[in-house]
């Protein structure tokens, strides 16, 4: 039984590996191809600077929560009259607004036009028109 276990082991690796540097750590595909079938595993080392870029975070859409205002498709026309497409984004701000009914602050991402309308109508009326439940906001 011991003889069978010895025969099943892969042959010893005769490859000389290069020392791992930050440049070589970026692409480990050359090591994987050289060590294929030898039974030697190469640990994947990711520097901390690149780790944050690997984590995918959902992007917040650029839409006002109260008015529903979003980007406008437009064209930029150069001096030579070449037309290129561009987006005109709304002026969105994260604002902490005092909510009278809930007796607490509510953080919303709203456009500056909505700020003026809140001064005129009130936060409760604007949230009711937009169909937003302010209790769920932090």
What pLDDT is attached to residue 15? 53
**85 membership: H or E segment, kind and range:** strand 83-88
Is 0.85 topped by the overall pTM?
no
Q: How many CB atoms lie within 10 A of CB 130?
A: 15
pLDDT at 2: 54
Q: Which residue ranges form the domains of the chain, and what is each CATH number?
A: 72-136 (2.30.170.40)
d(CA 92, CA 123): 17
According to the model, what pLDDT value does residue 136 have?
86
Residue 10 has a pLDDT of 60
In this prediction, the residues of the chain whose per-residue pLDDT falls under 70 are 1-59
CA distance 137 to 110: 13
Decide if 62 contacts 92 (C-beta within 8 A).
Answer: yes
Element (H, E) at 118: helix 112-121
């Amino acid at each position: 039984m011991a003889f069978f276990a010895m025969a099943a082991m892969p042959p010893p690796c005769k490859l000389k590996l290069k020392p791992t540097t930050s440049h070589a750590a970026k692409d480990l595909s050359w090591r994987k191809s050289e060590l294929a079938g030898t039974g030697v595993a190469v640990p994947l080392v990711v520097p901390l600077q690149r780790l944050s870029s690997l984590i995918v975070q959902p992007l917040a859409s650029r839409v006002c929560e109260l008015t529903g205002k979003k980007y406008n498709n437009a064209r930029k026309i150069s001096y030579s009259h070449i037309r290129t497409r561009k987006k005109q984004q709304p002026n969105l701000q994260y604002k902490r607004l005092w909510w009278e009914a809930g007796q607490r602050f509510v953080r919303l991402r709203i456009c500056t036009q909505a700020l003026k309308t809140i001064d005129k109508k009130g936060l409760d009326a604007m949230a009711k028109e937009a169909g937003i439940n302010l209790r769920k906001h932090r």
